[in-house]
Amino acid sequence: QVVESGGGLAQAGGSLRLSCDASTLTFVRYTMGWFRQAPGQEREFISAISWKDNSTVYAESVKGRFTISRDIAKSTVYLQMNSLKPEDTAVYYCAAEFMATTQIIEPCRVDFWGQGTQVTVSS
């Protein structure tokens, strides 16, 4: 399983950092990613970091503002969110796909989901 932390309330233009503890997994074999879901909307892919080469990919909506990284020693993946906007308000989910063959994680291929953490950005 994977467990997120770090959500909360931020003002527009502010920052938050999400963490995802994946210590129960063979971390180096999983592509780790982040999704978000706003009320009434579908779950949206945000970012992922590859198990093979640490390459990263971002949705256009967050490119240049969010940064994904991972600490192998801690089996933890992070999402640094800067320049937050009210439209970033959503529940954020950590996702893990075993030995993914593509950069972008498709929801149907996710092996483990976190429970979600709320991020609220006020204007």
- Cα gap 68→78, rounded to integer Å: 6
Of the candidates 107, 97, 108, 111, the one whose C-alpha atom is nearest the C-alpha of residue 49 is: 97
The predicted pLDDT at position 77 comes to 98
- Cα gap 110→9, rounded to integer Å: 27
Q: What is the pLDDT of residues 61-101, one digit of tens each?
A: 999 999 999 999 999 999 999 999 999 999 999 999 999 88
> What does the chain come to in residues?
123
Mean pLDDT of 94-121: 94
Name the band, by pLDDT with cuts 50, 70 and 90, for residue 14: very high
- Cα gap 90→75, rounded to integer Å: 25
- Is a pLDDT exceeding 90 seen at residue 103? no
Mean pLDDT of 109-114: 96
Q: Map residue 117 onto helix, strand or coil.
A: strand
Of the candidates 103, 77, 71, the one whose C-alpha atom is nearest the C-alpha of residue 17 is: 77
Per-state percent for the chain, helix, strand, coil, to nearest 5: 10, 50, 40
Radius of gyration of the chain (CA): 13
Beta bridge partners of 21: 3, 76
Task: Please give the mean pLDDT across all residues of the chain.
Answer: 96
